[in-house]
Every structure is written in C-alpha cells, then in structure tokens.
Amino acid sequence: MQTALSLTALVAAGLAGAAVVTFGGLYALFLAWHYMHRKAAHRRFAYTFYACLAISFGVLSAALRLDVSWNMAIVFLLAVYLVAPHLIWRLTDATHADEHDAENVFSSTPTGRRKS
C-alpha cells in the first residue's frame, strides 16, 4: 500500500502538469510556424519545447510515483505527439493544395488580378 503524497509532491505534480500543457502547446505552435514560414529558428524552438515537455512528464511521473505501466503510457504519448503534428500538417497541406494553388494564381501580380 502506497503512502499519501506530501504537499511538496502535490505542488510539484501541479506545476509539472501545467508545464506539460504549456510546453505541448508551444511545441505545436512553433512547429506550425516552422511549416508556415520555413524558418529554422522556429523548428529549433519547437524541439526545445518538446524536450521541455518530456522533462515535465518526467517530473510529473516522479512526483506522482507512477508505476511502469503509466510510464510506458507517457512514453507512448510522447512518441505520438512527436510524430502527429508532422502527419497532420502533411494531411492538411495535401487536402488544401488546390486552394493554395488558386491563391498563388491571384497573388502573382501586384494588383492581385489574374494575368491575361
């Protein structure tokens, strides 16, 4: 039987949970900005925030004293969250490729009108 968590462990778990949400969102945001603007700095920030996400999950796991099955679930979620935004971007890009091509036709001239 496990003993109750200390107040320090509960505070650490709460802060780590907030960090998981924050760093997960920042990872997705900067990865999307990288795909939209193709800037290497955005990609570096995205992976830095992903590393912070993984560390936050480690702190959360330690604070809550999770067993092996929960830790394996966290590892699985981290792996999926690393790959899923890339796949979602590819799907979105492929789905809206025709719309993107139509925008380029109209925006290729300074006035925004199609060339004759």
Q: Where are the domains of the chain?
A: 7-106
Cα(47)–Cα(68) distance, integer angstroms:
26
Q: Which amino acid, one-letter code, is at 72?
A: M
Cα(8)–Cα(92) distance, integer angstroms:
43
**Model-level pTM?**
0.78
pLDDT, tens digit only, all 116 positions of the chain: 568 889 999 999 999 999 999 999 999 999 999 999 999 999 999 999 999 999 999 999 999 999 999 999 999 999 999 999 999 988 988 888 887 666 655 555 555 554 44
- 79 token code pair: 């792996």
Cα(82)–Cα(12) distance, integer angstroms:
24
